[in-house]
Amino acid sequence: MKISNDKRKTLRLLIFLLSALLVMTVSAAVYNYMYLQASPISAKTAKVVFANGSDATAAGTSVGTNGTSVKFTSMSGWPNATRVYENATVIKNVDTAVSFVCLLSRDSWSGNTASIDTLYVRIYNAAGTLQGTLDVKASNTTTFTIPFGATWRLEWNIKWSATALSTDTITVTLAFRVTGEGTGE
Partner 1 sequence: MKAGCYITGIFSIILLATMLASVADGSVYNKYYVQASPISAEKPKVILQQGTAGTSTIYTNNTSAKVSVTAFEREFYKKETINYAWESVTSLISGSRGDDVGVWINLPWNFSYYGVNKTRIYLCSNGFGVFDIATTDYSNTLQELADRKKIAPFWDDLRTDTSASAGIFAENKTSPNRVVIRWNTTRYGASSDIAQFQSVLFSNGTIQFNWDVFVNLPNFSFTSGIGNGLGKYIDVTSDLAANKSIRFTPIQREVGYANHVTTYLNETLTVTTPLSGSRGDDVGVWFTLPWNFSYYGVNKSSIYLCSNGFATFDVAYTGYSNSPSAMANRKMIAPFWDDLRTDVNSYDGIYSENKTNPPRVVFYWRTTRYGDSSDVANFQLVLFQNGTIQFNWVNFVNLPDFSLTSGIGRGDGTCIDVTSEIGGGKSLRFTPNNIFDHVLKVTNQVTDNWKIRLRAYAQSNIGRLYNCTIYFYDGGGVFRQIYIYNGVYSQQFGNWYNLTGLSTVYIAMTVSAAGTGNSYVYVYLEVLVPGTSTYNLMIITFEVS
Q: How far is the CB of 160 from partner 1 (least distance, A)?
A: 4
Distance of closest approach, residue 180 Cβ to partner 1, in angstroms? 6
What lies within 8 Å, CB to CB, of 117 at 6+ separation is 80, 159, 160, 161
Pairing label, strands 100-111, 82-93: unpaired
CA 185 to CA 105: how far, in whole Å?
26
Q: Which residue, 115 or 141, is less far from partner 1 as judged by CB?
A: 115
Q: For residues 5 and 171, which CB has a smaller minimum distance to partner 1 in the complex?
A: 171
Counting every residue written for the chain, the total comes to: 185
Assess contact for 117 and 84: CB atoms under 8 A: no
Q: Pick between residue 112 and residue 125 the one whose CB is nearest to partner 1.
A: 112
Distant-in-sequence contacts of 23-27, Cβ < 8 A, 24+ apart: none
Distance separating alpha carbons of residues 91 and 144, to the nearest angstrom:
12
Least distance (Å) between residue 145 CB and partner 1: 13
Q: Smaller CB distance to partner 1: residue 10 or 68? A: 68
Which one, 23 or 41, has the nearer CB to partner 1? 41
Shortest spacing between CB 87 and partner 1, in angstroms: 5
- CA–CA distance, 167 with 163 (Å, rounded to integer): 11
Least separation in angstroms between residue 23's CB and partner 1 is: 39
Binding region for partner 1 (CB under 8 A):
46, 48, 50, 54-55, 57-59, 68-73, 75-87, 89, 104, 107, 111-112, 115, 119, 154, 156, 158, 160, 162-181
State how far the alpha carbon of 154 is from the alpha carbons of 50, 146, 160, in Å: 10, 12, 20
Query: Minimum distance from CB of 41 to partner 1 (Å)?
Result: 13
Nearer Cβ to partner 1 (19/69): 69
111-116-121-127 Cα dihedral, nearest 10 degrees: -150
